[in-house]
Amino acid sequence: MDHEQSLIQRAQKGDQDAFASLVDEHQRYIYNLAFRVLKDENEALDLAQETFVRAWTALPNFRGQSQFRTWLYRIVTNLCYNRLPNLRRSLNDLGDDVIEEIPETKIDNPAHEFESGETRAHLYKAIDELGSNYKLLITLRYQHELSYEEIASTLNLPLGTIKTGIFRAKEQLRKSLAHLEESWISP
């Protein structure tokens, strides 16, 4: 992190090599988030580039109040809002009816939890088919490992909305899994 801090400080002073190192380090995560939300390789690449160009322009204003990557997530999310005008509205419309803590199931041995590779593949497909609003939330939560509070701060949404969104995304996945299991019982 100290190394990153020094890269940021150098980049803030106009050192383009330092900024290139930051791009190298974070591009995969930024691209991943854009790709999950936009579902298009070229658009995601374009958006990731735009994110870093904007980050360069706004870098003098970065005060380190959040992590650099979280700051980049905020930029890429805002750009996603521009590309998908309904995304912001669909996130706001989630409401915040799930206010209790969402328990996360502990898995001692993940390999045993899958009856077959088919289940895993089915779930990956179901995740890909989720709406962009749910994809944004679960990508930030599970792939980028942000806390609920960090997601709420990044997306500038109430904490309850984040919890509701993730809860509903999981509900959809549960339904999809139930369909798969039904298809096993009644072929």
Q: What residues make contact with another protein under the rule CB under 8 A?
A: 16, 19-20, 23-24, 27-29, 31-32, 35-36, 41, 44-45, 48-49, 52-53, 56-57, 63-65, 104-105, 107, 110, 113-114, 119-120, 123-124, 127, 138, 141-143, 170, 173-174, 177-178
Token pair, residue 164, equals 């509701």
Complex with another protein: residue 85 or 100, whichever CB lies closer:
100
Amino acid at 169: A
Q: Whose Cβ is closer to another protein: residue 81's or residue 167's?
A: 167
CB of 161 to another protein, least distance (A): 19
Quote the radius of gyration of the chain (alpha carbons, Å): 19
Cα 81 from Cα 88, distance rounded (Å): 6
145: left (phi over 0), alpha (psi -120 to 50) or beta: left
- Find the shortest distance in angstroms from Cβ 61 to another protein: 11
Close Cβ partners of 126 (under 8 Å, ≥ 6 residues apart): 172, 173, 176, 177
Our CB check for another protein shows the closer of 114 and 149 to be: 114
The CB-of-103 to another protein minimum distance in angstroms stands at 8
- Residue closer to another protein by CB (options 85, 103) is 103
Contact assessment for residue 70 and residue 150, using Cβ atoms and an 8 Å cutoff: yes
d(CA 108, CA 134): 27
Least CB distance from residue 48 to another protein, whole Å? 6
Beta carbon nearer to another protein, 92 or 128: 128
- Tokens, residue 97: 């009816």
